[in-house]
Structure 1
Amino acid sequence: MRVLRKITPRRLVDVARAAVLLARARLQTRQESLARSVVSRDPQAPWPPVTTAQSSDIDRVAWAVAVAARYVPWRSDCLVQALAARAWLAAHGIESRLVIGVPHQRGDSFEAHAWLLSHGVTVTGGNITRYAAFPTALPPENWID
């Protein structure tokens, strides 16, 4: 909790907003199929131009979601964080792409990871270099709900 004592009031508000969005995202993962509604179809597509203000917002969201996820009393794993950050960025009119992938090296059990990209920045998901994005070549009618 030491980190939260040293931040500015604006950043504290950002952490509170992130906590609310994390709660909504957590509920969303329990209530609906995510395949059709949130997974980006082409994470490699070119990005539209980004303004300095939007770039600052992207960094702010990334920081606030990561901090809030450490302190909320529920599990806020990679998918929940990506959904929360995506909702926040969308509210500011900033494009983002949710990506789900698997490790390059196969292990004994299935492992998947979700991350959010926005204008070339990994907003959530940490270091994604060990993951490969699922291919998005299947049309939506072939997706599993």
Structure 2
Amino acid sequence: MRQVIAVLLISTLFIVYMFQPFLNEIYHLKNLAVQITLDRGIEKAAVDGKFTDQIVNEMRMTLSEQFHFSIDEISFTGTTAAAPRGAYIEGSLGIPAGQLWILPGIWGGETEIKELRAYAKQMSEYIPR
């Protein structure tokens, strides 16, 4: 009986040791994808002085086509009113985090992150005419 318990404990730790780094890497890459997509979007929005529907849809399409997220799962909040040159525009882009733990019943629980969110702020270059 002791051997069975030892094998169960060791196999659980072995599974975590072998597969948890992959989930951590996936989490990191998702976070990086959201941040890079938002950075590209805010560069375009700085020229227009706001996040236009075209820029927001382009960011959503990028995450949808290249990283295979559902468009409905992607959330965006940001400056939608034109900001003159010198004012700041802000944007926040989020996606669902997915599974963070290889054995979520043992670790994780209520403190698990539900959404990956990137935030960016940049000075507007828009000159109203």
TM range (shorter): 0.3 to 0.5
- TM-score, length-scaled by structure 2: 0.35
Quick check: which one's helix share is greater? Answer: 2
